[in-house]
Amino acid sequence: MRAYRVLLGSRMRSQTAYRRSFAFDILGSVGIGVVEFAEVYIIFTNVDVLGELDFAAAALLFALANVGFSVADMVVGHVDRLPAYLREGTLDAFLLRPLPVLAQLITSDISLRRLGRTGVATAVFAVALPLNDIVWTPATVTLVVVAPVTAAAIFAALFVCAAAIQFWLVEGGEFANAFTYGGAYASEYPASIYSLPMRLLFSFVVPAAFAAYLPLLVLLDLPGPAGLPQWLGWCTPLAAAVIWAVALAGWRAGLRHYTGAGS
Amino acid sequence: MTEPIISVRDLRREFVVRSPAGRLRRTRTVVAAVDGLSFDLEAGSAVGYIGANGAGKSTTIKMLTGILVPTAGTVRTCGLEPIRRRRELARQIGVVFGQRSQLWWDLPLRESFRTLAAIHRLPTASWPARRDELVERLDLGSFMDTPVRQLSLGQRIRGEIAAALLHSPPLLILDEPTIGLDVLSKERLRVFLAEQRALHGTTLLLTTHDMDDVQRLTERIIVVDHGRCVYDGTLTGLVARVGAERVMAVDLAEPVTSLGEISGTRTVAVESDGLRHRLAFAPERTTAGAILEALGRRAQVRDLAIEEPDIEDVVRRLYLSQTRTPRSPSP
């Protein structure tokens, strides 16, 4: 553990070394968060309800999805730049050190500037939570605490999947982005507005709906659209575990392909 | 007899090269970068691994260190199968790639060493002493707090070597460590490596294009060509085998157009309007002394220098002397 702490510590110091540039980075990230939320706000100036959700519920959905995604993006978002690591020989350097390669890749960077977006999402979360009509029981309290964590875990696993794919598709960055950023975007809106195939794709292939929409159904006690019954909201940790298992298997296969195929 | 620190048997590594043939079709060619290589390295030895670009040197090193899987054959490094026991092996070897940095670009060396010590779980009580030894011997003191990206090439390579040796590995593998360095930096590095060997018994395997590296650092050389071992022995033996020539460059007091026939030599070039003559000679046919004596009878020698055979030249001659069936083109 100490090794990872030292690795991450050095990354953080190098990013905050230039105060002003770091401040602007944070500001830019806040800007992205605000613009994303503005999108939701504008929609609700035109409609009262979107996919069974009112504005307060949609804001909570946005907040859950965004806290999860921005944290995942901060901690593991750089792994989908795998081709650059391959080109620069950094991955070979990882292979020559006595630590797991994926752990080294994840701790090789941490984008603290993304905290700006996390900040915006947390603020929206704090405002939207009391505005919603939630029956507070030990179960729902647990869900509210666990949901952002599992959301982050799901998006992090998607990033690792995206990285693994790029062992084969060296110029596959755009393809991989469709799942990571595409999944994040999909998770910000109620899955009920998508057509059934899309809804199933973003639930059971790319488990974006598990990150925020399904837990929200439980919190607000909503029935859920066709194909997505409410009880699935309780399966969020399971979905995170499954997508992580897929991500790790994919990563291991990718690394084997790399050591087999060479650079 | 103790187990060799590196043991390679019938090692083979193929790459698939796809090249376009027509608009949609692509041809798939299998190229063997390493083709039936076998050798052993005794612990404590120093070996130069030589070959032209694309001969399979880097591929071999990647298989020895656990970056690449062999297509066929076996590799044992420090008694371990490199890929399967990669992390164990990483604790026992130090690897430096002259052209690829393993340091953190934005960190100063002091931080890099601290991070590496944590990665290798070096005991807090002992590793700073090792670091200080390396800092002193490699003369890193003046730039320990400068980010690596601001270091000169020579400084960076010294830093890389210190980083690779921090965990005191019994085996050090260097892939073209002196490439691009100036004469002084090269010299300092060689002195340091020889010293580490004497002090810690570190086994050295290095690939290089520099003849002086081979002469100064290694006692055995392995030459590869198209992935096969074409020579394994001492440098003297290799030079004798291919009949490589040394070159004597003499500066004369007065210009002379032609020195005439000097037994056992061949005029390579006449420069500066006859003031400088370059004579090639094979060491087994004549001596520098005999040539000098013959020269003294014809002209007044002001200065002279002897150039050792160029490694590229020796290898080229060795390649040419190989009588083998035609091969597929190299990748």
For chain A, give every domain's residue range.
2-7+18-261
A7/B93 touch (CB, cutoff 8 Å), yes or no: no
The whole-chain average pLDDT of chain A stands at: 91
B67/A96 touch (CB, cutoff 8 Å), yes or no: yes
Q: Which is more confident, B318 or B80? A: B80
- pLDDT at site B327: 46
The residue of chain A with its CA nearest to that of B69 is A260
H helices within B66-125, ranges in order?
86-90, 109-119
Dmax over CA atoms of chain B, in Å, equals 72
B119/A97 touch (CB, cutoff 8 Å), yes or no: yes
A96/B90 touch (CB, cutoff 8 Å), yes or no: yes
Burial group, residue B124, by CB count within 10 angstroms (0-12, 13-18, 19+):
exposed
User: Å from B296 to nearest chain A CA?
Assistant: 56
Q: Flag whether residue B306 sits within 8 Å of chain A, measured between CB atoms.
A: no
Distances from the Cα of A5 to the Cαs of A85, A96, A114, A153, B109, in angstroms? 21, 19, 19, 20, 18
DSSP, res B75: E
**What are the boundaries of each domain within chain B?**
1-92+169-185+196-240, 108-168, 245-308
- pLDDT at site B1: 53
A7/B118 touch (CB, cutoff 8 Å), yes or no: yes
Partner residues linked to B46 by β-bridges: B204
- pLDDT at site A263: 42
B102/A93 touch (CB, cutoff 8 Å), yes or no: yes
Residue pLDDT, tens place only, A145-155: 999 999 999 99
B199-212 in b/e form (b: 16+ CB < 10 A) is eeebbbbbbbbbbe
CATH architecture of B245-308: 2-Layer Sandwich (3.30)
ipTM over 0.85 threshold: no
Chain A segment 6-25 residues within 8 A of B by beta carbon are 6-7, 10, 14
Distances from the Cα of B83 to the Cαs of B77, B89, B90, B92, B172, in angstroms? 10, 9, 10, 14, 18
Question: How many Cβ atoms are within 10 Å of B114's Cβ, its own excluded?
Answer: 19
From chain A, the residues in CB contact with B31 under 8 A are none
Q: Given the DSSP bridges, would you call strands B228-233 and B220-225 parallel, antiparallel or unpaired?
A: antiparallel
Residue pLDDT, tens place only, A73-102: 999 999 988 999 998 889 999 999 999 999
**Please, what CATH class does the domain formed by B1-92+169-185+196-240 belong to?**
alpha beta
Q: Given the DSSP bridges, would you call strands B46-50 and B203-207 parallel, antiparallel or unpaired?
A: parallel
CA distance linking residue A178 with residue A155, whole number of Å: 12
Mean pLDDT in residue range A24-40: 92
